[in-house]
Structure 1
Amino acid sequence: MLLKSRRHRPSGGSGEPPAEEDALPQAADGDPELGRASQWRLVWRKFRRHKLAVAGAVVVLIVYFVVAFAEFLAPSSPRATDERMTYAPPQTVKVDVSLGGGIDFYVNGYETHRDPETFELIHTEDPGKRIPVKFFARGDGYDMWGVLPWDRHLFGAVHADQEVYFLGADRAGRDLLSRIIHGARVSLSIGLVGVAVSFLLGVFFGGISGYFGGTPDSLIQRITEFLIAVPTLPLWLALSAAVPPDWGPLMRYFAITTILSVVGWTGLARVVRGRFLSLREDDFVVAARLDGCSRPRIIFRHMVPSMSSHIIASLTMAVPAMILGETAMSFLGLGLQSPAVSWGVLLQEAQNVRTVETAPWLMLPGVAVFVTVLAMNFVGDGLRDSADPYK
């Protein structure tokens, strides 16, 4: 960042010192504080100017807030079934304003009949049936974060024995909104856990390759090039197909996370290697080496922090890839399976074109994937542009 040169005013006969604002370095835009600002402050300052990145960050924070409070935000349990409500359409929330100024919310109930030719249930809204809904309604009991028992939900039916379907129901009569909210927890946690493991592998192997060079560099780069040369999706499918089908949802969850991590570390390793090659001859690294610092200390206390902004930008771009990988494998039946709930599992019902034609709301998990991945990509673009604020 360009700095204005310091100006020295002659003191004249009075011997007055130069003004304080002239003694401090000033940024090109006239802000004297930026001349001595930390790198993270400069990154944040530039990131705020990226409007799409800021909007994407807001969406990502909302999504992870939903993940953290999924039980409270979901109207009902994701596994509560009702065979009478198979493929029930979404219910629209309506407002009733009384003469006294009170506001009541309600949805219309269903009028159900069976098609005489196909024998499938047909649900239509019945204006004569009103199901009152309210905030902080009682419903299915749950344990918040596994420790706090509660039965309140953000929005639901006033009477606990009545079910509402704000986004419709699936073939088993389960509330789709509740399943999307709970599915976000699995899909997004796989992305975070997978990226965390990829971060450790990428920094470790990329750091060794870039710092030591020679034989370790050649060996690690050949392995990296081999993994990059293999098409990602077929490799994911082949490895996930090797998972025993009798494993439970928890075991398959860890297996999918491991697969995504093992395949996803190569990109970060190449980024770290390139940065290490350019940093290992810098003055501060040479000074640390001459001062007697050990190699691990030089790598993890001096070199890695100097490129932390670049690593964060790379990790942010890797999370959407992890989410799409899990969704693709679960959609094809090679990832998580029911009774596990993830966005990929929910999209399995959208494979049937006839089902989608009669119940198009089953595609809503795909909309959730699209919005989340797009927002994360915007955040990654903003972090990548802000990683070097001195440009």
Structure 2
Amino acid sequence: MATSASTINLQTGEEARQATAISPARLIGRRFLRNKLAIAGGVVLTLLYMSALFADFIAPVPYTEVHEDYVFVPPQLPRFRDEQGNFHLRPFVYGLDSELDMDTFRFVYSEIHEEKYLIKLFVEGYEYKLLGLIPFNRHLYGVDAPGVFYLLGSDDLGHDMVARVFMGARISLTIGLVGVILTIIFGATLGTVSGFYGGGLDTMIQRIIEFLMSFPAIPLWAALAAAMPPNWSPLQRFFAISVILSLIEWTGLARQVRAKVLSFREMEYTLAARAAGASDARIIFRHMLPNAFSHIIVVATLAIPGMILAETALSFLGLGIQPPQTSWGALLKQAQLVSVLLQQPWLLIPAFFVIAAVLTFNFVGDGLRDAVDPYSL
């Protein structure tokens, strides 16, 4: 019996030793999951990207559809009680009647209590391709014609702000990702080459980086964006803006990767690989870049908010995304005038989405930075 008990204890000890052998990736994952703010940011980011991916499904009408009779309609909230105080299980909205105010020369809308339009889910509407592949005509919500339902209001052309905001999210959020991917490619490649080979090549790359970093970012971006041919397609302009945004951002990453590679170059595993006859490419891609990968991911995550803000600034100045395409910055361009802010404050709604995206990316980036820090508790 004693032998059996000791065997069990030995097995338990072996299992305990195996349990303590945690891979670095799993250790980073555990540290990240302990950061509740980063997890919350990740959830919000997932919702933002899912809403951008399914923007056509969420939008009740096409984002380019113009309604001249419904210009600057305030946000309509779903109602559960009618004007007589009766409760309804199904939400509804009233019909709208417009009248031109001769003092302010803007339309004033009033509700037509005799017209009730039920808000329905998964209604039929305009046709589109779900995920760009599947023909589909169902939408998240809507009302029967001739009723209208502007959940977030409308703009100066009667565009539905829900459709504009979520279709604009596709541009603003994707430009941040594409710009960061280009930043990683340029910064990681040139930083690794600079740190690994050193000498005159290192000096030349560092001088180029210093030259690019000496330019003020916003004026340089504005000048390059203004130089784009006006006849370019929206897709060409999109990728051009992505390249412009990453033109300066890669320099900071390149310097950080160079510093990492300089320390990796003297490590024992690098010297052993050289002694074994490994090629430079194998040493770089097999040993150095994987060790710097966690740092690159953290820097890239923290760089995405800057990309989103830069695109928003360019589009706000009229130098970014042009109609009929839209982005959060292009939507905020309508809110430049103080009179618009006072009379149509709902045009500032895209700003809250920008703030949410920037804050959540920063939360996730801070969580990743703390997770990959070997000295964090």
Q: What range is the shorter-chain TM-score in?
A: over 0.9
CA-to-aligned-CA distance 1:330-379 (integer Å, 9 cap, x gap): 00011111111111110110111111211000000111100111000000
Matches within 5 A, 1:15-164: 16=6, 19-23=10-14, 33=19, 35-95=20-80, 103-157=89-143, 159-164=144-149
Preserved CA contact (<8 Å) 2:80 2:88:
no
Match of 1:121, SS state, is: strand
Partners of 2:361 and 2:22 lie apart in 1 by 27
Matches within 5 A, 1:1-391: 16=6, 19-23=10-14, 33=19, 35-95=20-80, 103-157=89-143, 159-389=144-374, 391=376
CA-to-aligned-CA distance 1:183-228 (integer Å, 9 cap, x gap): 0001111111111111111111000011111111111111111222
TM-score (norm 2): 0.93
AA partner of residue 269 (structure 1): A
Preserved CA contact (<8 Å) 1:241 1:334:
yes
Partners of 1:140 and 1:162 lie apart in 2 by 16
Partners of 1:13 and 1:312 lie apart in 2 by 51
Bigger shift: residues 193-202 or 282-291: 282-291
CA-to-aligned-CA distance 1:290-326 (integer Å, 9 cap, x gap): 1211111111121111221111111101111111111
Change (3 A) 1:92 1:14: closer
Change (3 A) 1:14 1:160: closer
CA-to-aligned-CA distance 1:245-286 (integer Å, 9 cap, x gap): 333322221211110122221111111111111111111111
Change (3 A) 1:271 1:160: farther
Partners of 1:156 and 1:150 lie apart in 2 by 15
Change (3 A) 1:161 1:37: farther
Unmatched 5+ stretches in structure 2 = none
Change (3 A) 1:36 1:137: same
AA partner of residue 340 (structure 2): T
Partners of 1:76 and 1:163 lie apart in 2 by 10
Bigger shift: residues 319-328 or 260-269: 260-269
Preserved CA contact (<8 Å) 1:136 1:155:
yes
Preserved CA contact (<8 Å) 1:43 1:389:
no
Match of 2:69, SS state, is: helix
Partners of 1:189 and 1:380 lie apart in 2 by 17
Q: What RMSD over aligned residues (CA atoms) do the two structures have, in Å? A: 2.2
**Cα shift at 1:22:** 3.5
Partners of 1:36 and 1:390 lie apart in 2 by 18
Match of 1:243, SS state, is: coil
Preserved CA contact (<8 Å) 1:199 1:268:
yes
Partners of 1:361 and 1:195 lie apart in 2 by 31
AA partner of residue 106 (structure 1): F
Match of 2:110, SS state, is: strand
AA partner of residue 293 (structure 1): A
Match of 1:109, SS state, is: strand
**Cα shift at 1:382:** 0.4
Partners of 1:241 and 1:367 lie apart in 2 by 27
**Paired-residue identity, %:** 45
Partners of 1:228 and 1:302 lie apart in 2 by 29
In structure 2, the partner of 1:8 is none
TM-score (norm 1): 0.89
Preserved CA contact (<8 Å) 1:46 1:389:
no
**Cα shift at 1:138:** 1.3
Partners of 2:178 and 2:316 lie apart in 1 by 20
Partners of 2:336 and 2:58 lie apart in 1 by 28
AA partner of residue 316 (structure 1): T
Change (3 A) 1:245 1:307: same
Change (3 A) 1:15 1:358: closer
**Cα shift at 1:110:** 1.8
Unmatched 5+ stretches in structure 1 = 1-11, 27-31
**Cα shift at 1:132:** 0.9
Change (3 A) 1:236 1:381: same
Match of 1:190, SS state, is: helix
Higher helix share: 2
Preserved CA contact (<8 Å) 2:73 2:153:
yes
Preserved CA contact (<8 Å) 2:192 2:261:
yes
**Cα shift at 1:244:** 2.1
Change (3 A) 1:271 1:161: farther
Alignment: residue pair count? 370
Match of 2:332, SS state, is: helix
Change (3 A) 1:102 1:165: closer
